[in-house]
Amino acid sequence: MEERSLAFETESAGEDECFKGNKGGFRALPFIFANEMLEKVAGFGLNTNMITYLTDKYHLSTVTSQTMLFVWGAISNFAPIPGAIVADMYLGRFMAVALGSVACLIGMVFLWLTATVPGARPPPCNGDQCAPPGARHLAWLLAGFAFLSLGAGGVRPCSMAFGADQFSRHPKQRRLRILQAYFNAYYASIGVAFMVAVTAIVYLQDNVSWNVGFAVPMGLMLLSTVSFFLGSGLYIKEKGKRQMFAGIGAAVGAAIRNRGARLPDKTVDGVYHHLKDCKLAVPTDKLRFLNKACLLRATKEDAPCNGSDAAASERHGHDGKRPCTVDQVEQLKSAIRVLPIWSSTIFLALAMNQSFAVKQADTMDRRVGAGGFRVPSGSLAVFNMATMSLWSASYDRWVAPALQRYTGNQRGLTMKQRIGGGLLLATASTAVSAAVEGARRRLALSGVTISAFWLVPQFALVGLAEAFGVIGEIEFFYTELPKSMASFSMSLLYMAFGVGNLAGALIVKVVQVASMRGGRTGWLVDDLNAGHYDYYYWLLTGYGVANFVYFAWCCWVYGEEGKNVEWEEEGNTEQP
């Protein structure tokens, strides 16, 4: 049985690439991976421990800091939507990644300046007296956040899709095998970057200084940008296609204009407008009401057009205006059909956010070894990415072949099964978080401090949830949407994270306000022992259970995978 590891595909692709031209393929990946890994080390190095920076150096409360990070995360995850549209229609993915990398570098410079320039952040506390941040302090901080979000709009939706573009000259079946291995290897490399960030960089921030802790990510981001430009001559650079989103918009408009038209009883050729020599001459029966968008003007007998009648009707639709083409309507259908499953993945963003766990670790025993070395609270997240990276790296080589014997699926599990597994594991992680926090609080009130390594199971479950759910989600969107929407398909993942971050901020606010009614102590107060963070985690667990039921229904409605873009012309994705 063939093992579809990236190493195997690299070796077997060597001869093929000799006559495929001197651009793209595996030779371009080192520069793309270097850009992504260095950017992620820098980004994770900032984000993982940012709640500590905001509470300790900016003197913000835990809830205010978490809410600010939720909102920043939401903006950074929504930014890929316009970024993807601009990249797919105008700039192309290469230019989007390049400009995004530069913007991220500028954002990191601003954050480094907050830790370096005197007066750029509030003065140190005088005992228990801590001055709140003023407008000028927040201006430096928010400027850094703004540029990082702007950069995320270019890098996040386009970096992975740009790497996938490098295999656009391979035959379809071979490309599908390579892409599955590529997505897993890509995410495994991100895991390695994360582990470096939450160990080395977090250690510098906690034990050396924030000045150095921000300077290192800034330097790495500079290297990331330079490495990406160094590989410019090796890349396949797809140009933006302005007609892509315009076609979808036109299909929506045509469907509205023709809403009163009568569809024929049977979907037959000659009734619908399609391009010459187009592989798909008639639209599919899914979401059939949208077929009115490409319906041709009827004949006098109100019968289907055929032959010369059809050719004569190419110029006008049912309402006298030029109709959309069948493939434009099918693109619109593809985008609509994935949205319910997309909405069910929002829960992953809530479960994957472990900022509260960092504050929990601050109250726990973090000593290891005979010397009593104290592990930085933010570094416990290494168990998250270690689990995710190990699973992602082993899935194609060992797990998928083993599962294939039972499922009969070459991928081991279908993409929807992987997403579903991720949602279940994410729900399990919140339940474990609730149980551990409840036990920690009870023992802390009795004077016992437990080890911070009791947090490892919840981090490991989040890592598995990410390995199943997020990678499955990426592959699902990329393969189920047209290749001309590759950047947009990647941005759907981040849009789910953005909605999840906003939902998280709303839940935190509502929980805090509701739990403080009647003068009671809130669940999410700065003193974890006085609050009830375990109740918050149980609330998320209930949401996770209900969300999985909703996801199962969405999968049933969606039907079989791989049917959305089986009509797409192979030649459309082969252009360098």
- Given a cut of 90, whether residue 428 has pLDDT beyond it is yes
Average pLDDT on 552-574 reads: 67
Q: What is the pLDDT of residues 449-478, one digit of tens each?
A: 999 999 999 999 999 998 899 888 888 887
Q: What is the pLDDT of residue 540?
A: 94
Q: Which residue has the higher pLDDT, 380 or 182?
A: 380
- Given a cut of 50, whether residue 340 has pLDDT beyond it is yes
Q: How far apart are CA 266 and CA 285, in angstroms?
A: 9
The per-residue DSSP string of 106-143 comes to HHHHHHHHHHHSTTSSPPPPBTTB-PPP-HHHHHHHHH
Indicate the pLDDT class of residue 565, thresholds 50, 70 and 90: low
Q: Which residue has the higher pLDDT, 226 or 239?
A: 226
Indicate the pLDDT class of residue 241, thresholds 50, 70 and 90: low
Q: What is the pLDDT of residue 90?
A: 83
3-state secondary structure of 100: helix
Q: How far apart are CA 350 and CA 244, in angstroms?
A: 32
Q: What is the pLDDT of residues 373-411, one digit of tens each?
A: 888 887 888 888 788 878 877 887 788 888 888 888 777
Indicate the pLDDT class of residue 224, thresholds 50, 70 and 90: confident
Q: What is the pLDDT of residue 325?
A: 80
- Given a cut of 90, whether residue 443 has pLDDT beyond it is yes
> Alpha helices, DSSP H only, in 353-485?
355-362, 382-394, 400-407, 415-445, 456-465, 471-480
Q: Where are the domains of the chain?
A: 22-123+133-242, 337-562
- Given a cut of 60, whether residue 348 has pLDDT beyond it is yes
Average pLDDT on 414-437 reads: 94
| Range of lowest pLDDT (101-105, 486-490, 520-524, 544-548) | 486-490
Measured distance between the N- and C-terminal CA atoms of the chain, rounded to whole angstroms = 32
Indicate the pLDDT class of residue 289, thresholds 50, 70 and 90: confident
Q: How far apart are CA 92 and CA 105, in angstroms?
A: 21
Q: What is the pLDDT of residue 551?
A: 97
pTM above 0.85, yes or no: no
| Range of lowest pLDDT (22-26, 197-201, 351-355) | 22-26
Q: What is the pLDDT of residue 299?
A: 37
Q: How far apart are CA 149 and CA 574, in angstroms?
A: 32
How many CB atoms are closer than 10 A to CB 97?
A: 32
| Mean pLDDT of all residues belonging to the chain | 80
Query: In this structure, what token pair is assigned to residue 346?
Result: 């929002």
Q: What is the pLDDT of residue 440?
A: 94
- Given a cut of 70, whether residue 552 has pLDDT beyond it is yes
Q: Which residue has the higher pLDDT, 425 or 253?
A: 425
- Given a cut of 60, whether residue 312 has pLDDT beyond it is no
Query: In this structure, what token pair is assigned to residue 34?
Result: 């270097």
Q: How far apart are CA 512 and CA 142, in angstroms?
A: 25
Indicate the pLDDT class of residue 171, thresholds 50, 70 and 90: low
Q: Which option is the CATH number for 337-562: 3.40.1190.10, 1.20.1250.20, 1.10.8.100, 1.10.10.60?
A: 1.20.1250.20
Q: What is the pLDDT of residues 84-141, one digit of tens each?
A: 888 877 888 889 999 999 999 999 999 999 999 888 888 888 877 888 888 888 999 9
Largest distance between two CA atoms of the chain: 92
Q: What is the pLDDT of residue 554?
A: 94
Q: What is the pLDDT of residue 1?
A: 39
- Given a cut of 90, whether residue 190 has pLDDT beyond it is no
Phi, psi (rounded to 5 degrees) for 26: -70, -20
Determine what percent of the chain is predicted with pLDDT higher than 90. Answer: 22
Q: What is the pLDDT of residue 314?
A: 45
Indicate the pLDDT class of residue 311, thresholds 50, 70 and 90: very low
Give the class (CATH, top level) of 22-123+133-242.
mainly alpha
Q: Which residue has the higher pLDDT, 280 or 361?
A: 361
Q: What is the pLDDT of residue 510?
A: 92
- Given a cut of 60, whether residue 331 has pLDDT beyond it is yes
Q: What is the pLDDT of residue 303?
A: 39
Indicate the pLDDT class of residue 575, thresholds 50, 70 and 90: very low
Q: Which residue has the tokens 């570098």?
A: 105
| Range of lowest pLDDT (96-100, 128-132, 156-160, 187-191) | 187-191
Average pLDDT on 197-202 reads: 81
Q: How far apart are CA 1 and CA 86, in angstroms?
A: 42
Q: 337-562: same fold as 22-123+133-242? A: yes
- Given a cut of 50, whether residue 309 has pLDDT beyond it is no
Indicate the pLDDT class of residue 203, thresholds 50, 70 and 90: confident
Indicate the pLDDT class of residue 27, thresholds 50, 70 and 90: confident
| Range of lowest pLDDT (98-102, 242-246, 442-446) | 242-246
Average pLDDT on 486-509 reads: 82
Average pLDDT on 346-370 reads: 85
Indicate the pLDDT class of residue 35, thresholds 50, 70 and 90: confident
